[in-house]
Amino acid sequence: MTYNGATFHGFAVNDGIETVGGLLQDAIVTVARCNATLSVAGRTDRGVHARAQVVSCDLPEDADLDRVRIGVNALCGPHISVREVVWVADDFDARYSAKWRHYKYFVLNTPTPDPMLIDRMWHVREPLSLPMMQLACDGIMGSNDFTSFCKKPADMSGTLTYSMIRNVMKADWHDTGDGQLVFDIRANAFCHQMVRAIVGFMIEVGTHRRKPAETREVLLAKDRTLLPKLAPPHGLFLWEVGY
């Protein structure tokens, strides 16, 4: 499925708040006439978009999948579009069966903003050094503890509740022309705010406020306070999920 997340408070179902998952779940219940508990490949935050989100749930055995897709799209459009509905094996789970997730972050690096791109790209006025940002990518490759780049999940006592170790398989920047820069990152999984924290740090590298070598230093410090600035959510897209 594809969605523009600008008008939603993230994906996760949250009673009384309009979310992508909440609207989708209600639509499935209405169209398929069944209880639908969703499992999602990437639980995107408020304002984050998705080009190829994957969701799984149980449907009645006699469900007409084309009818489900058409009906759900009629209830969820125009900001949400279910592109395909297919039967899968009983043990398939959109979240736990995924081997990797691929995100893209889009930056518009021009002196003036483009009103047509305000909900899809982060506008950065200061000139950015793409080679410096590319060098900064080296420090996050492989399996590492990304505590410094993630919002800390904690229970009521403040104790860390799960591992922040993630395996980054791809990380690079490229220029697509007209001042538009794209950051690609692929990993087995991502913790909360990880991509936005990485992009925010690398923009500081690109503006020469930090050095590429600091990427590794910050990563090894395991200290979230070293990265006070997050990239805004509207430039982030869940681009692809691998199974």
Pairwise CA distance, residues 133 & 151, whole Å? 22
Is 91 among the catalytic positions? no
H or E element at residue 3: strand 2-3
Token couple for 142 = 């492989």
Contact status, residue 80 vs residue 24, Cβ threshold 8 Å: yes
- Beta carbons within 8 Å of 159's beta carbon, 6+ residues apart: none
Dihedral class, residue 13 (left if φ above 0, else alpha if ψ from -120 to 50, else beta) = beta
Residue 154 has, within 13 A of its CA and on its CB side, a CA count of 9
Burial 28-42 (b: 16+ CB within 10 A, else e): beebbeeebebbbbb
Q: Which of 15, 26, 45, 184 is catalytic?
A: 45
Question: Exposure string (b/e) for 100-118, b if CB count within 10 Å is 16 or more?
Answer: bbbbbbbbbbbeeeeeebe
Q: Indicate the burial class of 168 (C-beta count within 10 angstroms; 0-12, 13-18, 19 or more).
A: buried
Q: Given the structure tokens 């001042």, which residue do they identify? A: 179
- Which residues are known catalytic residues? 45
